[in-house]
Structure 1
């Protein structure tokens, strides 16, 4: 298993500049086109709207699995480790083609402040789902293609307008998807137990866990302490070590793969704290 790729950090620092459109130093839109099956795991540092124009991608996080096909879309929340399996269209030279949009809070705030869209009331949490794209959204996606071939024609103001256009098209074309996007701005207060149990094995920060639970960082720490009678950082470390011990005892997975799959920063750090907790480094413990 490769180390989990962080998105969009890896896109910003990587050499594939022609695959991403940048705004304010960060990736706003990523294009992915290839003719070979691609598998891996990505950790989402931003909320992402994924649009598939050809082929299919299977996304797995936790116990949830979603298959996104041609002219379909899905919204993925940040602070999640998502496994992906991209497969091309056998009727079109095995081409897989998708666009991935970073939904940044500042752009969403700007849209809500300046648009004339009537904001619906959100009642309860709108669950993640795969939704069809209407003709306007499909046409919008293809209108972005020329920008990836000549970056000199892309101006920051123009790119902001394209994101606004995307949000207008989603608001007009798919109410549930739009409600999901609105929840990114004002996350629903969620059960802390559910949030931490679902995400403790991902490379997630406390501030991101707080966001996912619909709380400020200070409120999250206070509520967590009241439930578990320990700090979230200590609880997460112990849970990850328990899971690592279980994997070592029941599988032949390499120590490095266990380290990165559970969200530890590097192998040396993982080995050191594992030894502190169980008295032996992982490799010796397995033997």
Structure 2
């Protein structure tokens, strides 16, 4: 069977092909992306959305979000997708060329399903030949393709300029509310700090004031409490939830669970059965 591939065109355009279900947990989107689902499905979960992109769907996904993704082949076809990484330097260059205003902070929807468009379809179709030979699309050409994508997005929805050209850093947010919403994402502490608009030192200081304990301690307790609830009240299998709740391995999850509650996750399942 052909191995899955992720071809990166000059750090701007990614072509993904997978023959089996692939799950990628807990990433921080550093740049906004434009996704075309060619075949199969991609399910992506952020703190505010859980979305399944099916064949033909085009999504615009905002930067500065935690994200979990699952790629699934369907109907005896490979999983295939094209993804544009809308890098800030290219967006700034485009805005400068077009003399666009770039100081307005965006407050709208973070994940946008684009309407059907012959322009976008034709544009993506023009890229298919390059998926067979990534080296044919060199850096200058890939930058032009990204700018063409930006041009088409603005042609279809002019208000997307606020989405695309918001270059501000995350502002300071309600830390308690943010952590209660995002505790399931297994990312470095400095990523939590970044998305709450704080330095790492400021994040740890504010966190201790609010929760009375260090972030790592609180995160583990919160994840374990949620795991206990899902196993006992929602009858979920421990093996199906440990990754979704931010634990790196089942063995580690079982160990800290038993240490916290005095019995293992499997003991609960056996008692329920």
Q: Sort the TM-score into its range (normalised by shorter chain).
A: 0.7 to 0.9
TM-score, normalised to structure 2, is 0.74
Matched, 1:214 2:197: yes
Contact 1:187 1:212 in 2 (8 A): yes
Tell me the residue number matched to 2:107: 125
Q: Are 2:82 and 1:116 equivalent residues in the alignment?
A: no
- 1:13-32 pair list within 5 angstroms: 15-17=3-5, 19-23=6-10, 28-31=13-16
1:73-222 paired onto structure 2 within 5 Å? 73-77=59-63, 78-82=65-69, 98-109=81-92, 111-112=94-95, 114-123=96-105, 125-128=107-110, 129-132=112-115, 134-183=117-166, 185-222=168-205
Note the residue ranges of structure 2 that are not aligned, 5 or more in a row: none
- 1:64-96 deviations in Å (ceiling 9; x for gaps): 3446574642315442224677867xxxx9998
Q: Deviations along 1:32-86, whole A, 9 cap, x unmatched?
A: 599x9x7967544434322346788665545634465746423154422246778
Q: Is the 8 A contact 1:32 1:97 kept in 2?
A: yes
Q: Distance in 1 between matches of 2:152 and 2:167?
A: 17
8 Å CA contact 1:75, 1:177 repeated in 2: no
Displacement of 1:145? 1.2
Q: How many residues align?
A: 264
Q: Relative to structure 1, is the Cα distance of residues 152 and 65 closer, same or farther in structure 2, using a 3 angstrom cutoff?
A: closer
Could you tell me how far apart the structure 2 residues matched to 1:85 and 1:191 are? 35
Give CA deviations for 1:221-263 in whole Å, capped at 9, x if unaligned. 3333332232222211110011111123235544332221211
Query: Quick one: structure 1 residues 198 and 49, their matched pair in 2 at CA, closer, same or farther if it must change by over 3 Å?
Result: farther
The aligned counterpart of 1:6 is: none
Tell me, in whole angstroms, the C-alpha distance in 1 between the residues paired with 2:201 and 2:158. 33
Secondary structure of 2:187 counterpart = coil
Greater displacement, 59-68 / 157-166: 59-68
Match in the other structure for 1:10: none
Alpha carbons of 1:253 and 1:168: their partners in 2 closer, same or farther (altered >3 Å)? same
CA contact (8 A) 2:255 2:264 kept: yes
CA distance in 2, matches of 1:185, 1:20: 30
Q: CA RMSD in A?
A: 3.8
**Is the aligned partner of 1:237 residue 2:224?**
no
SS at match of 1:204: coil
Whether the 8 Å CA contact 2:36–2:59 is kept in 1: the answer is: yes
SS of aligned partner of 1:30: strand
For 2:195 and 2:159, locate their aligned partners in 1 and report how far apart those are by CA, in whole Å.
19
1:168, distance to aligned residue in structure 2 (A): 3.5
User: With structure 1 as the length reference, what TM-score do the two structures score?
Assistant: 0.71
Is the CA contact (8 Å cut-off) linking 2:58 and 2:114 kept in structure 1? yes
- The one of 19, 34, 50 aligned to 1:49: 34
Whether the aligned pair in 1 keeps the contact of 2:4 and 2:17 (CA below 8 Å) is no
